[in-house]
């Protein structure tokens, strides 16, 4: 069987994502839903509620009072924060494992995904973009294709390094050349398999802007920048660090002053430190 077919078959064997992810995105998309709907969605999921309250009461959060209910968590932290915590926790089992083919240790992909999702959300807020929970979720899931591809990359390292270093190709080109598919396109296939919206599939498939028209979609451009900020910071990123095409015009469009980019890299490092502490057992 051709390697690409093996990879596509593997997608079918991935465990489904928790249904609460879709329920929260539907809640966020519905102008008629309110805070009480979010509270109900989380409360109906005992595991999500337990995880949320555990995190709220962790030393890391440092809250002055004990949080006993989802309602209290939303009141104390705000809807957006609670949505992001629930999303990150419920996707953690898909992102926590080591991805040896990318030289990512256990936990690295999750931490990097959480921190760059925070950057994507803050960039999207700066641009007044709608659908922040979806952009945040796309930030978490943009590299989900690596979860499948990593095991096929390991044996091809010598050739991939040569392909990038000597021929000057990007990592996306290297994946396509050696495996028949890249992690962004595969991520889109996984998102489709998991019944995400067309726009979510598009954002994930194009987060490296391999399709030039994706540069015109502000949410996808935001995702691209959040990934690049993670690459520039360089912590918890894998062996593919910075081996991607850089579109300076998009940087210039978002960051009018150089200091803004520097500040965002520092913010990313802060988010990453937060994700590391969250990942540690209390």
Tokens, residue 52? 């949320």
Identify the three-state secondary structure at position 156. Answer: helix
By the rule CB under 5 A, 182 interacts with Fe ion: no
Angle CA 182–23–230, to nearest 5 = 40
194 vs 224, beta carbon nearer Fe ion: 224
What character string, x for contact with Fe ion (CB under 5 A) and - otherwise, covers 92-131? ----------------------------------------
Of 87 and 147, which CB lies nearer to Fe ion in the complex structure?
A: 147
Tokens for 176, please give them: 């396509």
Distance from C-alpha of 179 to C-alpha of 93, rounded to nearest angstrom: 25
Q: How far is the CB of 4 from Fe ion (least distance, A)?
A: 18
For the window 207-236, what string marks contact with Fe ion as x by the rule CB under 5 A? ------------------------------
The residue among 24 and 172 lying less far from Fe ion, judged by its C-beta, is 172
Q: How far is the CB of 52 from Fe ion (least distance, A)?
A: 28
Candidates 71-79, 135-143, 151-159, 257-265; binding stretch for Fe ion (CB under 5 A): 135-143
Number of residues that bind Fe ion (CB under 5 A): 1
Nearer to Fe ion, 84 or 143 (CB): 143
Q: How far is the CB of 183 from Fe ion (least distance, A)?
A: 6
Judged by beta carbon, residue 208 or residue 276, the one nearer Fe ion is: 208
* 203 contacts: CB under 8 Å, gap ≥ 6: 134, 135, 138, 142, 217, 219, 220, 223
Q: Residue 15 carries which DSSP code? A: P
Neighbours of 25 (CB within 10 A): 19
C-alpha 112 chain-centroid distance? 8
By C-beta, is 45 or 182 nearer to Fe ion?
Answer: 182
Contacts of 25 (CB under 8 A, 6+ apart): 133, 134, 137, 196, 197
- CB 186 to Fe ion: min, Å: 10
CB of 54 to Fe ion, least distance (A): 30
Q: How far is the CB of 271 from Fe ion (least distance, A)?
A: 17
Taking the complex as a whole, the smallest distance from the CB of residue 112 to Fe ion amounts, in Å, to 10
Grouping H, G, I as helix, E, B as strand and the rest as coil, residue 99 is strand
CA distances from 201 to 15, 83, 91, 184, 198 (A): 18, 20, 16, 10, 5
Q: Of the two residues 84 and 182, which places its CB atom closer to Fe ion in the complex?
A: 182
Number of residue whose CB is nearest Fe ion = 143
Q: 98 with 105: CB under 8 angstroms?
A: yes
Please identify which residue in 108, 143, 175, 182 interacts with Fe ion, judged by CB under 5 A: 143
Site residues for Fe ion per CB under 5 A: 143
């Amino acid at each position: 069987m051709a390697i690409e077919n093996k990879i596509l078959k593997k997608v079918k064997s991935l465990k489904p994502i928790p249904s609460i992810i879709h329920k929260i995105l539907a809640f966020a998309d519905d102008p008629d839903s309110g805070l009480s709907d979010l509270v109900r969605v989380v409360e109906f999921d005992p595991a999500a509620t337990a995880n949320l309250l555990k995190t709220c009461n962790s030393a890391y959060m440092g809250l002055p009072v004990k949080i006993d209910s989802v309602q209290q968590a939303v009141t104390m932290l705000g809807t957006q924060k609670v949505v992001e915590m629930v999303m990150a926790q419920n996707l953690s089992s898909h992102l926590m494992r080591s991805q040896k083919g990318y030289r990512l240790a256990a936990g690295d992909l999750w931490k990097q995904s959480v921190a760059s999702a925070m950057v994507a959300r803050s960039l999207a807020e700066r641009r007044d973009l709608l659908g922040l929970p979806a952009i945040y979720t796309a930030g978490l899931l943009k590299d989900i294709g690596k979860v499948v591809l990593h095991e096929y990359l390991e044996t091809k390292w010598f050739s991939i390094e040569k392909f990038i270093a000597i021929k000057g190709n990007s990592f996306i080109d290297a994946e396509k050349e050696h495996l028949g598919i890249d992690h962004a396109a595969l991520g889109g296939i996984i998102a489709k398999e998991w019944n995400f919206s067309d726009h979510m599939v598009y954002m994930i498939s194009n987060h490296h802007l391999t399709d030039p028209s994706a540069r015109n979609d502000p949410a996808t451009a935001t995702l691209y920048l959040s990934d690049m900020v993670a690459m520039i910071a360089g912590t918890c990123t894998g062996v593919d660090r910075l081996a991607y095409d850089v579109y300076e015009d998009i940087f210039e469009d978002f960051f009018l002053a150089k200091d803004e980019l520097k500040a965002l890299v520092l913010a990313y490092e802060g988010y990453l430190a937060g994700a590391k502490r969250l990942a540690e057992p209390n």
